[in-house]
Structure 1
């Protein structure tokens, strides 16, 4: 399976898609703003990463707006927050066969580029 969960209007996602050569011919592309992720999809991501926290973006504006940085969050909280608000999913999330790549860190993008060669 080759799939990417991204935001179509996110310049970081766009840059990573361009840099890695991901296209809609070889990848199933899901814009999480227009097509929400399902609980099953999120649970599959968690099974590959080991935690919902690893999929959670603390960069989301709502993180500060909602005062979440001052609250202790559980795995259940992370899961529900991501399902309720798409901006809490760390992006992009890329599946390449049995591997998953989450986020935009340089090392993550480099590893993704290596596997796509």
Structure 2
């Protein structure tokens, strides 16, 4: 399986998608087609952490005062399902591996895996 979850208005996502050979990928734009419980559970199966999938750079994270709270795994899950901006992006699943976020190392690993 090859799948990428991204945000089409995100310049970083656009840049990363240009670097990847997208042949064979299912691409899901998370604003127009938000992640559902099954998809999030599938991502969780790779990471064993909703926090690892959570975008702590999201504006709402600061606006809602979440950075000052102790958030449980269940709360991370519900926050991601309630608002697309809380999913760290892009998220790419390639065969038996997941690549979460846009760090240089993560993007390099994704490109190497998909070469």
Answering whether residue 40 of structure 2 is matched by residue 37 of structure 1, we say: no
Structural mapping, 1:92-107, within 5 Å: 92-107=90-105
1:26 to 21, 24, 31: 24
Alpha-carbon RMSD: 0.8
C-alpha displacement of 1:21:
2.7
Could you tell me the TM-score, scaled by structure 2's length? Answer: 0.97
* Cα distance in 1 between the residues matched to 2:107 and 2:27: 17
Structure 1: tracts of 5 or more residues without a match: none
Within the candidate set 28, 51, 54, 2:52 is matched to 54
Structure 2 stretches lacking a partner, 5+ long: none
Secondary structure of the residue aligned to 1:59 is coil
Task: Work out the CA distance in 1 between the residues paired with 2:103 and 2:21.
Answer: 17
Question: Per the alignment, in what secondary structure is the counterpart of residue 51 of structure 1?
Answer: coil
Who is 1:84 aligned against?
A: 82
Distance 1:21 1:104 in 2: 16
Deviations 1:90-112 (A, max 9, x none): 00000111111000000000000
Q: Match for residue 7 of structure 1?
A: 7
Is it true that 1:110 corresponds to 2:83 in the alignment?
no
Distance 1:89 1:82 in 2: 6
Q: How many residues align?
A: 115
DSSP-derived class of the 2:85 partner: helix
